[in-house]
Amino acid sequence: MKNETYVISSNEKLARDIWRMQLVGDTSEFGNPGQFVNIALAGNYLRRPISVCDYDANSFTIIYKVVGEGTEKMSRMERGMRIDALTGLGNGFDTELCPKECTVVGGGVGVPPMYALTRKLVKEGHTVRVILGFNSAEDVFYEDQFRDLGCEVTVTTVDGSYGEKGFVTDAMEEGTYALACGPKPMLQAVFAKSSDGQFSMEERMGCGFGACMGCTCQTNDGPRRVCKDGPVFEKGAVAW
């Protein structure tokens, strides 16, 4: 973990309530895809944990949904402004555990961390099938970016206004190795249909680095902190 200051290089709206922010600064602590940063905002006591969508040697991208006061404040931040963040948090996805063929599933605001993951999987020679689920056409983002990685991409919308109508699991093959991030009901459905896989959990956090025990979840290995022992858990450990 590191505490660094970043300069915003862009902050733009991608879809309904969905924003992308690019930040420049020290990314030396960034490891596996699926990790997150914890952002300090002036006027808010607690930091905001946001998953990393992508990063390189001196910049990174986050995609966030405006859901409350803090993320609304973020959406009003402009290029050139500075942000304080704790970086290199969480375990992230372990691509070494993945078989040659696997399915990446992202739902809504769970889509962003799957981008860096998919890029890594493709680079390591995996055949990746991507399924992105949204509520409606106006919520869809990053379909082209995933396709540009050279993957087969299926988009589903609940109301059928874009892509295939239905849930991500309607487009998912039974018995596949799944890597998933999204709302809990989606994770549970993917869990049920997968042979094995890794699942990124979400929980309201206090510190984001394992000190406060605020975000603990029950697993088959006992209580685990989503922020420090997760957020990614192997299928065998997940207890709903």
Partner 1 sequence: MVNTKIMLNGIEIDNPVIPASGTFAFGYEFAPMYDLDILGSMSLKGTTAQARFGNPTPRIAETPSGMLNSVGLQNPGVDAVIREELPKLEKVFHKKAVANISGFSVEEYVECAEKFDACDAIGWLEINISCPNVHGGGMSFGTDPCEAAKVTAAVKKAVKKPVWIKLTPNVTDIAQVAKACEEEGADAVSMINTILGMRIDPKTRKPILANTMGGLSGPAVFPVALRMVWQVFEKISIPIVGMGGVASARDVIEMMLAGATAVQVGAANLVDPWACEKIIRDLPRVMEELKIENLSDIIGGAH
SS3 88: strand
**CA trace torsion 48, 114, 190, 155 (10° rounding):** 110
CA dist 129 and 44 (Å) reads 39
CB of 166 or CB of 183, closer to partner 1: 183
Binding mask 132-171 for partner 1 (x = CB under 8 A): ----------------------------------------
Interface residue with partner 1 among 3, 5, 10, 195 (CB under 8 A) is: 3
Binding mask 192-231 for partner 1 (x = CB under 8 A): -----------xxxxx-xxxxxxxxxx----x----x---
CB of 43 or CB of 80, closer to partner 1: 43
Q: Residue 121 is inside which H or E element, if any?
A: helix 112-123
Phi, psi of 115 (to 5 degrees): -70, -55
Nearest-approach distance from CB 217 to partner 1, in angstroms: 7
Nearest-approach distance from CB 133 to partner 1, in angstroms: 22
- Which of these ranges, 11-19, 38-46, 102-110, 170-178, lies near partner 1 under the rule CB under 8 A? 38-46
CA dist 61 and 177 (Å) reads 27
Nearest C-alpha neighbor of 177 from the set 166, 189, 188, 193: 193
- Which of these ranges, 43-51, 56-64, 101-109, 120-128, lies near partner 1 under the rule CB under 8 A? 43-51
- Which of these ranges, 44-52, 75-83, 178-186, 188-196, lies near partner 1 under the rule CB under 8 A? 44-52
Alpha helices in 124-211 (DSSP H): 143-148, 184-193
Instruction: Point out which residues pair with 178 in neighbouring strands.
Output: 103, 197
User: What Cα–Cα distance (Å) separates residue 15 from each residue in 66, 104, 148?
Assistant: 11, 21, 19
CB of 81 or CB of 211, closer to partner 1: 211
CB of 39 or CB of 114, closer to partner 1: 39
- Scanning residues 75 to 104, which ones bind partner 1 (CB under 8 A)? 86
Asked if residue 42 binds partner 1 (CB under 8 A), the reply is no
CA dist 169 and 194 (Å) reads 10
Nearest-approach distance from CB 171 to partner 1, in angstroms: 30
Asked if residue 41 binds partner 1 (CB under 8 A), the reply is no
Instruction: Point out which residues pair with 187 in neighbouring strands.
Output: none
- Which of these ranges, 40-48, 98-106, 160-168, 179-187, lies near partner 1 under the rule CB under 8 A? 40-48
What is the full DSSP assignment across 130-152?
Answer: EEEEESSGGG---HHHHHHTT-E
CA dist 229 and 209 (Å) reads 9
Binding site for partner 1 (CB under 8 A): 1, 3, 40, 44-47, 86, 203-207, 209-218, 223, 228
